[in-house]
Amino acid sequence: MTKYILAPSILASDMTQLGSQIAAAESAGADWIHVDVMDGHFVPNITMGPFIVEACRRVTKFPLDVHLMIEKPEQMLEAFAKAGATGLTVHVETCPHLHRTLQHIKSLGCKAGVVLNPGTAVGAIEPVLHLADLVLVMSVNPGFGGQEFIPESLGRIAEIRKKLDALGSSAWLEVDGGVSVETIAQLKEAGTTAFVAGTSVFKHPEGIDAGVKALREYL
Ligand code: DX5
Ligand code: ZN
C-alpha cells in the first residue's frame, strides 16, 4: 500500500507559538514538517534560515523537509544539514551543477530533493531523476503562502509520475502550493505521494487539528 505523506508548512504558522504549533500538527497526524527558506533574490520574500531549522529540530523528531528557495544553495547546504534538516530540496532554476549539488546533499547525510517552478519544463530534471530521493512540483509560483493552485500542475505531476515509475524510482513525488480539500484528491490521483500544506493546516478556521484531519481523510 502506498504511504502518503502530509507535510505542513510552518510558513503559515504563528511564529510566536512555533513549538506548540508543530506539536499540534504532529499529534493531529502530520508526517514531516516543511520549512520554506527564501532569500529575497530567487523569490520576492525573505523567511527563515538554518537558525529556525535548528529551533525546529529542538522541538520535533519528525523529518524536517527543507525547501531552499535561494540562489547558490550549494553554499548553504552544510549549514542546513548541521542545523538538522532531514531533506534538502533545491530548485533546478538555481543549480547550474544540479548533478553535483544533489550528490553534495547526499554526502551530508540528507535526502536529496529537486524542485521545479510552474514555468520550468519537466525535462529539466530528467538527467538527475535517478539521483533524487524527492521530486517537488510547485503548484504556485514560489514566494508566498495562500496562493491559488495552478491546475496545469496536475498534468506535470502525472508526467513525472510516469518517468519515476519507468525508472523504478521510489522517490517521493511532492506537491507544494494551494493544497486543500478541493485539490488533494486530484493530486493523489495524478500520482503525488507527499503533500505540502500551509494555509489549509495552520490557518484552518477550526484549528490545526481540524486542518490536518480534513486533508488526512483523503490520504
Ligand atoms: C510557497 C511555499 C509553500 C507555501 C505553501 O513558496 O513553498 O510551501 O508555504 O503554502 P499554501 O499551502 O498556503 O499554498
Ligand atoms: Zn515549500
Distance 25 CA to ligand 2 centre (A): 16
Neighbours of ion ligand 2 (CB under 5 A): 36, 67, 176
DSSP, collapsed to helix, strand or coil, labels residue 69 as strand
Distance 62 CA to ligand 2 centre (A): 17
User: What does the pLDDT read at residue 120?
Assistant: 98
Q: Quick one: which ligand is closest to 141's CA?
A: 1
Distance 196 CA to ligand 2 centre (A): 7
Q: Which residues of 192-219 are buried (b: 16+ CB within 10 A; e: fewer)?
A: bbbbbbbbbbbebeeebeebbebbbeeb
Is 211 a pocket residue for ligand 1 (Cβ < 6 Å)?
no
Whether the CB-CB separation of 3 and 192 falls below 8 Å is answered with no
Q: Ligand 1, from 6, 9, 65: best to mutate by most atoms within 8 Å of Cβ?
A: 9
Dump pLDDT digits (tens) for 24-48.
999 999 999 999 999 999 999 999 9
How confident is the prediction along the chain (219 residues), in pLDDT tens digits per residue?
789 999 999 999 999 999 999 999 999 999 999 999 999 999 999 999 999 999 999 999 999 999 999 999 999 999 999 999 999 999 999 999 999 999 999 999 999 999 999 999 999 999 999 999 999 999 999 999 999 999 999 999 999 999 999 999 999 999 999 999 999 999 999 999 999 999 999 999 999 999 999 999 999
Cell of 203: 490557518
Q: What amino acid positions are annotated as catalytic residues?
A: 36, 176
Q: Which helix (H) or strand (E) holds 113?
A: strand 111-116
Distance CA 6, CA 52 (A): 20
Is 11 a pocket residue for ligand 1 (Cβ < 6 Å)?
yes
Dump pLDDT digits (tens) for 161-179.
999 999 999 999 999 999 9
Give the contacts of 46 (CB within 8 A, at least 6 positions apart). Answer: 38, 39, 40
User: What does the pLDDT read at residue 30?
Assistant: 98
Q: Which residues of 139-165 are buried (b: 16+ CB within 10 A; e: fewer)?
A: bbebbbbeeebbeebbebbeebbebbe
Question: Residue whose CA is closest, atom 10 of ligand 1?
Answer: 145
Distance CA 127, CA 99 (A): 8
Distance CA 153, CA 137 (A): 7
Whether the CB-CB separation of 74 and 41 falls below 8 Å is answered with no
Give the contacts of 1 (CB within 8 A, at least 6 positions apart). Answer: none
User: What does the pLDDT read at residue 2?
Assistant: 81
Q: Work out whether strand 134-138 and strand 172-176 pair parallel, antiparallel, or are unpaired.
A: parallel
Q: Ligand 1, from 47, 144, 149, 175: best to mutate by most atoms within 8 Å of Cβ?
A: 144
User: What does the pLDDT read at residue 1?
Assistant: 75
Distance 143 CA to ligand 2 centre (A): 9
Which residues on neighbouring strands pair with residue 176, listed in sequence order? 138, 196
Q: How far apart are the first and last CA of the chain?
A: 11
